[in-house]
Copies of this chain bind each other. A is one copy, B any other.
Amino acid sequence: MSTNNQIKVDPRIKRTKRMFKEALISLLEENYDRSKLTVQSIADRAELNRATFYLHYRDIEDLMEQMINEVLDEMYQTINPLSQDNLSLGKASLISFLEHIYQHAGLFNVMLENKDFRKRVFSMLLEIVSLWREERKVKGRSFQVSNEIIASSTLGIVTWWIQEGTPYSPSYLANQIIKMV
């Protein structure tokens, strides 16, 4: 699923791709006028040639997509419940999830505008919520509210939290979310 499977990749390519990614992020983070977000502006910021961009990406969308895949792969490993052990797996996953976002708040604030990214974060949340509620055996109480509703409301909260500059700590927010369920 990921790129970078053991095969050695030319350090020039690594560097170049990193430069383009950093360039795009920095432009997006400073609310760069979207209508002026051109391949040329990204190449300028990366201090690379415009033609080099097309050596690696089809267009700006493609660059964005690749970045999203990398970010999500990384996050998915972070919240992987196999890494945690005793205590509530669901809650632990939620806190890991929020902490990971907290560490990369700027990036996530930008990424969450992307519809595909939101969809995939939603899927992750759905997994976490299902896990947590299975443990709690809320199933016995016939699931008054569906997992989808919990997951989507959590995504709403996270979106707001990031946009407001992460006003609460990840663990406090996790508690607020859990309290709400």
Contact = CB atoms under 8 A, between A and B. Distances in A.
A82 to B, nearest CB: 27
A85 interface: no
A144 interface: yes
Which bracket fits the contact residues of A? Answer: 20 to 34
Contacts of A155: 156, 159-160
A37 interface: no
Given A113-B115, A115-B113, A156 B152 contact: yes
Interface string A103-120: 000000000010100000
Interface string A123-138: 0000000000000000
A160 B113 contact: no
Nearest to A61: B35
A13 interface: no
13 contacts: A35-B61, A148-B164, A149-B160, A149-B176, A149-B180, A153-B153, A153-B154, A153-B156, A153-B157, A154-B156, A155-B159, A156-B156, A180-B180
